[in-house]
Structure 1
Amino acid sequence: FPQSVMVWGAKSSAGVGPLCFLRSKVNAAVYQDVLEHFMLPAADQLYGDADFIFQQDVAPAHSAKATSTWFMDHGIPVLNWPANSPDLNPTENLWGIVKRKMRYARPNNAEELKATIRATWALITPEQCHRLIDPMPRRIAAVIQAKGAPTKY
């Protein structure tokens, strides 16, 4: 693509939530703003009053003390996530699906790219999300059993 954009998207085993296109580098304050204005409404939409566990990688903005405090203040448990484990991350697999669906798209600028991403994201079904997230407890258990060594996943 001639342009690139930074995007945050909510997903759960129940489906996808809204996308947030970011204009600046993501620091803890920017990330907490995304959580407040995109993740919380998405969680309400996807889970209602049901409890959930939030999963994120260990990017500096995600692992900042202020971000940890934000999650504690909002009563949201966060799954501890090992560094350098993109193969375990359902988000990576979901973006892989989006990229494959977009392979023939030819956006000419950032706005067209955003529109293409939005349209493609809207095609992601709850069933696809469920297939990505449902096996996570087994995958995590396999990594623990292998003491961090490679697994069949």
Structure 2
Amino acid sequence: MAGEGVKPIASLLLVLNFCMYAIVAAISGWALNVAIDRGFIVGPSLALPAHFSPVFFPIGNAATGFLVIFALIAGVVGSAAAIAGIQHIRAWDHLSLAPAASSGIVAWALTLLAMGLACKEIVLGGRNVRLRTVEAFLIILSATQLVYILVIHGARRP
């Protein structure tokens, strides 16, 4: 296949993205666990508060619940896309390009959605260091995932 010169660049981006997606998924899983452990408990004698939200998170701000859920989904899908990308790097032919590119595009779209929520959380303020890490990684991943998709698509041209 043409474009053997970009194979090391694609490999580097793939490893970087996989590691960052795994970190995003791990921190988001931690935040979801904190929300489950510290969330509001409704018992037989307790009533829901007036402005109860099922996406309530005791850490962060009003956007944290949505950010954590979408970041967790983006992290898992991005990690799976990286695994498909590893198969494409190994084969490096037109038959393995379609699964790698399509899963990469889906992961990028979910990352953009989570990045938008991260931007909203940044605007609202009041979050801890781990949530700031997720925000930063999502912003970086939105760019590096796009570059990875462009590299593997650009490599197929003669």
TM-score by length of structure 1 reads 0.26
Which structure is higher in strand share?
A: 1
Q: Which has the larger radius of gyration?
A: 2
